Structure 1
Amino acid sequence: MSSSQAPVDVVLIGGGIMSATLGTFLKRVRPDWSIVIVERLGSVAEESSNPWNNAGTGHSALCELNYMPHPDDPAKAIQINEQFQQSRQFWATLVEEGKLGEAKSFINPAPHMTFVRKPSDIEYLRMRYQTLKQHTLFEELEFTEDRAQVAEWAPLLMYKRDRREHFAATRSIAGTDVNFGTLTKKLIDNLVSGGAELRLNSEVRGLRKTKAGAWQLTVRQLVEQRTFTIEAPFVFVGAGGWALKLLQKAGIPEANGYGTFPISGEFYKTTNPEVVAKHNAKVYSQAEAGAPPMSVPHLDKRIVDGEASLLFGPYAGADPKFLKYGSILDLPAGIRPSNIWPYLSVAKDNMVLLKYLIGQLTLTKKQKFDELRKFMPSAEPKDWELITAGQRAQVIKKDPKKGGVLQFGTEVVAHTDGSIVGLLGASPGASTAVSIMLDVLKTCFPDEYAGTWQEGLKSLIPTLGQKLDENPELAHATMERTAATLGLPK
C-alpha cells in the first residue's frame, strides 16, 4: 500500500553532515521553504558522520601530506585551509547564536603534527615547511628534527624509540578534533525545531521527473513496511556511498561515466587513561606507495561525548558495500554500460593500488600492531582493540585519455537545470562540508547565490568571497574570533 505526501520545496536524502549543512544554509536564505530529510537508518549521523566511522580530523592541510604532493606547490593546501576557515566561521556563528550549545561538545583543540622517518621524506617535509611558512594561514607551523622537541610535543612518539633513528616533525597548534556526529545531530535538531520534517527508517527506492518538472521520490518506510511518495522541485543526494546509485536511478546524464570503488577500514583504539594522557595531538605520516588518500597512517587524540581516546590506522579492509549498513550487491549493482570502461581502465592503471590493498588484507594482527609500533614503540597489545571504521566510496571518473581515473576529492554532480544534485567522494569530506555546500548552492541556484542570498550567507560566513591567505589582517581577525568562540588556541 502506498500514499502520497504533500509536495515540499526541498528533499535532502541522507541524514549526514552534508544534508545538515545544506539544510542550514537553505533555512537561512529561504526560511519559508519546506524541507524533508529522508534517512534510511533509525537515527541521523550513523554512517560516515558517526565519530567512530571517521578520524575526526578538522582537515586543514596542517599535517596531511597528500594535499601537497610537491613541496614547492602550496595551492591545494591553501585551498583546503581556506575551506576549513569557512567551516570554523559557520560553526562559530551558530555557537554565538546559541544554536549549537557548547562548542567543546563537537570541537576540541588537537595540535596537528606530521612525523616522517625516511631520508627522502625528511627532506620533503623540510621543504614543505619552508614553503608553507611564508603563507598567513600556516605562519605558526613549526619544524624540528630534535628528539627532545618531538618528545615534548608528543611523548609517545619518542618513548623507547631507537636513538639511532632519524626523523623530522612539524606541528601546528591550530589543529582540531571534530565530532561530526554530534555536530550533525545538533544541526538537524535545529532544522526540525525550525519546521523541517525528519523521516527516519525511510529508504529512497526510486526517483523520476514529473511532467511539471518536479522530482517524485518513491520511499519505503522500513519499520512500518509501507511505501509513500514525496514531490519536490529540488533534491539533494547526500547519501554517501549510495549517492551515485540514486543519481543513476534518477537517470540524469551527468551521472554517466562515474563509478565508485569501496574502501573499508579498521582502527586500533585505546581508552587506557595512562596511555591517552601522554598523547595530545593528531600525528600524520607519509602514505605507502599506492595507498588512497584516506589511508594515510595517523595516531589521533579523539574526544567523543567527553571521553578521550587514541586511534591509530587506518588499515584497509575488503567489503563490497558502499555504506557500512549497505548491501554486498552495491558494487555490481552500480555497474552500467557508461562506466564499464572507466572501471576497467582504473584497474589496469592502478596495479600499485591493488597491490597495496591486497597487502593490507593479508596482514596478520601482529603485523598490523607492528605498524602502530612504528609510531608508538612502547605500544602494548593489551591496551588496544581493533574497531571497524566507516565505508568510503572512492570516485572513478571517465577520462578522455585514460578511459577512467580515480578521483581523489569530492565531486558535485548536478543536473543541468539544477533540480537535483549529488555528492561523490570522500576526502576531505566533512571538514569542508561548508565550502562544498556553498558550491552546491552556487551550481543549482546561481542567480540567487550571486544576488539576494549573499546577505544571509554572509551572516553565517562574514568573509565569504574573500581569500584569507591573501589578507593577513582579515585572516588574523577572523581566526581570533572563531578561536575565541570555539575554544581553540589563538
Structure 2
Amino acid sequence: MTETPVNNNHGRDKTADVVLIGGGIMSATLGILLSELQPDWNITVYERLHDVALESSNAWNNAGTGHAALCELNYMPAGPDGEVDAAKAIAINEQFQLSRQLWSTLVDEGVLDGPSTFINSTPHMTFVRGEKDVSYLKKRYEALKKEPLFEGIEYSEDSRVINQWAPLLMQKRPKADEPFAATRVPAGTDVDFGALTRQMFDHLRAKGANVVTNREVRKLRRRKDGTWDLHWRNTVGRTPGVTNAKFVFVGAGGWAIKLLQSSRIPEISGYGVFPIGGQWLKTSNPAIVAQHKAKVYSQASVGAPPMSVPHLDTRVVDGETSLLFGPFATFSPKFLKNGSMWDIVSQVRPGNLWPMIKVAIDNPSLITYLIGELLKNHAAKVDSLRTFMPTAKDADWELLNAGQRAQVMKKDKDKGGVLQFGTEVVTGGEGSIAGLLGASPGASTAVSIMLSLLRSCFPEQIDGWEPRLRELIPSYGESLNPRPEAARKVLQETASTLDLMA
C-alpha cells in the first residue's frame, strides 16, 4: 500500500520524535526496533519514490545472500604469508545471527508473514580453480570447520561430489582443466530484502508510524534547541514543507552523503562515495533452474571491488525461483538508480577533495577493471558465466540491471584517502543525527548496525531498553561463537521458526 503525501501548506506545522529518511531495509529495521523499545515515540518515514524498497533493498537490485561469511572469500582473505584469519568471517556471521534472531521473533509475534515469503534455505558454496586458490580454500576450510558458527561446512576436490552439490558447475567441464575445489554449507540462506522491508513498513504503519512516499528531503538544518528541520518537497506537485524532528536517521543509500553534507555536521568532512552499478545475467528456464540450488561464490577479478565477486545464485522472489550470475560492474555518476547525473560532482567539498583524488591515484586497477566491464557485450558476459557453468548458452540468459552501490571514500592519515569496503555509520549533533554510508554486507547485518547506532545515539535509554532487546534478540550483548552450545541452540531455534535447514 502506497501512502499519498500530506500537503503541509508550505509551513512548519509538523513535528516528529524520529524521522527516518529512505524506505529501505535500514530505516525499516531501525523503525521496528524503536517502535518496540519506545512505543510512545512518533515515527515518520520519508521516501522520495512512489513506494518503499525500490532501490538497493529491492530483490532484483541485490544478490539476496544472507551474508554470514559461509561462502564469501573477501571476508577472509589470505595474508601476505598465505595464512588465513577467521576473525572477520566469524564477526560477520555473528552479525547475521542477530538478524536471524530478530526476524524469528517478529515471525513468532506475527509482525512478519510466513518465513518463505522473505527467506529460504539455499546452500552456500565457494568454487575456485587453480593450484593457488585451491590451496587457499583448503586452508580456509581447515580454519572454519573448527568454529561453532560454521559447523557443517564441507570441502571437496572430487568432481563427483561437487557434481552432486551443484551439477551446473561440472557438466562438460574439461577433464584436463586446472585443479578445482569447493566448499559447501547446507544451512545458507537466500533473502528477499524487498519483501522483508515492505512487511516491516506495513507493521510500522499499523502501529501508527507516518510512512510518506513521493517526498524528497532536500536539506537538513539544526536548530538552537538541538532539533532538526527537514526541508522537503513532494515529488508530485512539488509542494515544499518543513518537518521538525528530535532525531534523524539518513538511510538514503548513496544520497546519504548529500544529506549529511547538507546538515553541516563536522563528522562528515573527509567522506565521499564512489558509485558502482551492476548487471546480472538471469534465467528462469525451468530446466536450468532445477539443476542448481545454491549460491556459489568465487574469487574476484584483479582490481575488482569486493562487491563484484562473481557468483551463480539461486533466487526466490515472490515464490518463483530463478538463477542470477554476476554482478558485472557498470558505471554511472548517479548515487541511486533514480538519482542525478550530477551526484558524483555535487558531493565534492574542500574536506573530501584530496581523499577522493588519492583514491583515484591509488586504484588504477579499479579503473582498468571498470573499463573492461563496460566493454563487455552480452556474449562476453555469458563467456564469463561459462567459467562457472560450461554449458551456458547465450539465448537462455537475459541482462538485468542491479542497484547502484556507493562505496565509501574517506580520509586516511597514512595514505591520504582510501576506498573502503563495507558500511559505516556517521553520527553528529551529539547523537541527534546519524547516517549510513557504504554497501555490502549491509542488508544482512542491518540489525547489528542499528543496534550499534542505538548505543551511540541513545546512551541514556539503552540500559532501560535492554530487557525488551533480549526478548527480541536472545543473544543480545553476547557472542555466540565462543559458546558452542549457545550457538547451536540459536541456530536450531531460528532455523525452526524460519523453516530453514539447521
TM-score band (shorter)?
over 0.9
Instruction: Report the Cα offset of residue 364 of structure 1.
Output: 2.7
TM-score between the two structures when normalised by the length of structure 2? 0.96
Q: Any idea what SS the aligned residue of 2:464 has?
A: coil
Structure-2 residue corresponding to 1:12: 20
Structure 1: runs of 5 or more not aligned: none
- Is 1:311 the counterpart of 2:341? The answer is no
1:266 has 2:274 as partner: no
Aligned residues: 489
Partner residue in 2 for 1:32: 40
Q: For residue 5 of structure 2, what is the aligned residue in structure 1?
A: none
Deviation readout 1:215-268 (Å, 9 max, x if unpaired): 000110111320111001100000000001000000000000000000001000
Tell me the distance in 2 between the aligned counterparts of 1:227 and 1:460.
Answer: 38
Q: Alpha-carbon deviation of 1:409?
A: 1.1
Q: Tell me the SS of whatever aligns to 2:455.
A: helix
Q: SS of the counterpart of 1:312?
A: strand
2:421 is equivalent to residue 408 of structure 1: yes
Note if 1:210 corresponds to 2:210.
no
Deviates more, 1:47-56 or 1:440-449: 440-449
Which residue does the alignment assign to 1:152? Answer: 164
Measured against aligned partners, the alpha-carbon deviations of 1:264-322 in whole angstroms (never above 9, x if no partner) come to 01000000011000000000000011111110000000000001000000111121100
Map of 1:438-449 to 2, 5 A cutoff?
Answer: 438-449=451-462
Aligned pairs for 1:17-166 (under 5 A) are 17-70=25-78, 71-165=83-177, 166=179
- Mapping of 1:336-347 within 5 angstroms? 336-347=349-360
Q: 1:453-472 to 2 correspondence within 5 Å? A: 453-472=465-484
Residue identity opposite 2:282 in structure 1: K
Out of 177, 181, 194, the position equivalent to 1:181 is 194
Deviations 1:33-86 (A, max 9, x none): 000000000000000000000000000000000000125200100000000000
- Matches of 1:304 and 1:312 in 2, distance apart? 15
Output the amino acid matched with 2:176: R
Where in structure 1 do 4 or more consecutive aligned residues deviate above 6 Å? Answer: none
Q: Partner residue of 1:250?
A: 263
Shift of 1:213: 1.4
Q: Which residue of 1 aligns with 2:447?
A: 434
2:187 partner letter: A
Comparing 329-338 with 65-74, greater Cα deviation is found at 65-74
Deviations 1:90-134 (A, max 9, x none): 000000111101000000000000000021000000000000111
SS state of the match for residue 7, structure 1?
A: strand
**Is the aligned partner of 1:2 residue 2:14?**
no
Matched-pair contact (CA < 8 Å) for 2:19–2:43: yes
Return the TM-score normalized by structure 1.
0.99
Q: Do the aligned partners of 2:14 and 2:243 also contact (CA within 8 Å) in 1?
A: yes
**Structure 1: distance between partners of 2:377 and 2:227:** 52
Q: CA deviation at 1:447?
A: 2.8
Structure 2 CA distance, aligned partners of 1:75 and 1:289? 24
8 Å contact kept, 2:378–2:399: no
Partner AA of 1:264 in structure 2: G
Runs of 5+ consecutive residues of structure 2 not aligned to the other structure:
1-8
Q: 1:230 and 1:416, CA in 2 relative to 1: closer, same or farther beyond 3 A?
A: closer
Shift of 1:3: 2.5
What's 2:395 paired with? 382
Match of 2:386 among 346, 358, 373: 373
Shifted more, 377-386 versus 36-45: the winner is 377-386
SS in 2 for 1:122: helix
Q: Which amino acid aligns with 2:402?
A: A
Query: 2-side partners of 1:326 and 1:351: how far apart?
Result: 26
- Percentage of matched positions with identical amino acids: 58
Q: Distance in 1 between matches of 2:429 and 2:21?
A: 19
C-alpha deviation, 1:416, in angstroms:
4.8
How far apart are the structure 1 equivalents of 2:476 and 2:37? Answer: 15
**CA–CA distance in 2 between the matches of 1:91 and 1:386?**
32
Match of 2:411, as an amino acid? K
Q: 1:365 deviation in Å?
A: 2.3
C-alpha separation between the residues in 2 aligned to 1:116 and 1:282? 14
- Equivalent residue runs for 1:272-421 within 5 Å: 272-421=285-434
Deviation of 1:323 after TM superposition, in Å, equals 0.2
Cα drift, residue 4 of structure 1: 2.7
Name the counterpart of 2:182. 169
One-letter amino acid of the structure 1 residue matched with residue 35 of structure 2: K
